[in-house]
Amino acid sequence: HPDALAMARRHQRFRQMLDATALEAVEQQFGVKLDRRNAKTLKIKYKGTPEAAVLRTPLPGGAPARPEGEPESPLLDFPYPYRRPAASGNAAVPPPQAPSSPEAVRQPAPTEPRYSVVQRHHVDLQDYRCSRDSAPSTVPHELAVTIELPLLRSAEQAALEVTEKLLCLDSRKPDYRLRLSLPYPVDESRGKAQFNKARRQLVVTLPVALSATRPEPAATAEEAAHPP
């Protein structure tokens, strides 16, 4: 409505209410989840094909329209028998509220991007020997973390930090924040990251630390008594 748009240009909180209502309508109508933190207002009045609105106004002096589905009352319409209280001229008028500063308006939290963690194993034939100590390890050799950043143009816009058990990603404009706990301790000094500009994905490959691999099998009592 043009009046709503005009008021939104003058009042920031009213504009935020309209934006939130529009985003909720799109999410409910199409069953999607929108990124409200990184949403932007386009510099156009509308998008799409304009259609003329048809407004029906009541005829001057005509009978009021009856709502659809309401049965006709057998009783006559009588006026309200009591006098309405007159508005007091000395009623206190509430003072206008001071416009709130942009800093006082609560901003949504940074968006947590979607991610996936893949455990990679390397096939070694010595793990399949006919020996007591040959068995595939349940601990992966490396972790591949794929982070989806659809609004990121280059890897320079994001700050990545990896510790032994935690992966941290921060970005401004677009606003992303990720705190990911890793399932295994990794060697962050040998890790590598690559940003795919076509898919807007950041792929981080982290080798698992040697301390997380399986320990050597303990020697039996017979082997301990008769060492080789």
Neighbours of 146 (CB within 10 A): 16
Q: Do you know the residue count of the chain?
A: 228
Specify the pTM: 0.56
141 in Cβ contact with 217 (< 8 Å): no
State the first-to-last Cα distance of the chain, in angstroms, to the nearest integer: 90
pLDDT for 126-158, tens place per residue?
777 777 777 677 788 899 999 999 988 888 888
Q: Where in the chain is the domain with CATH 2.60.40.790?
A: 115-212
pLDDT for 16-53, tens place per residue?
898 889 889 988 888 888 888 888 877 877 777 877 77
Highest mean pLDDT among 24-33, 178-187, 203-212: 178-187
Residue whose token pair is 């390890």: 137
- Cα–Cα distance measured from residue 34 to residue 26, given in angstroms and rounded to the nearest whole number: 8
Mean pLDDT of the region 169-194? 91
Options 2.60.40.790, 3.40.50.1950, 3.20.20.210, 1.20.1270.10; which CATH number does 115-212 get?
A: 2.60.40.790
pLDDT for 75-84, tens place per residue?
656 666 666 6
pLDDT for 115-133, tens place per residue?
999 998 887 777 777 777 7
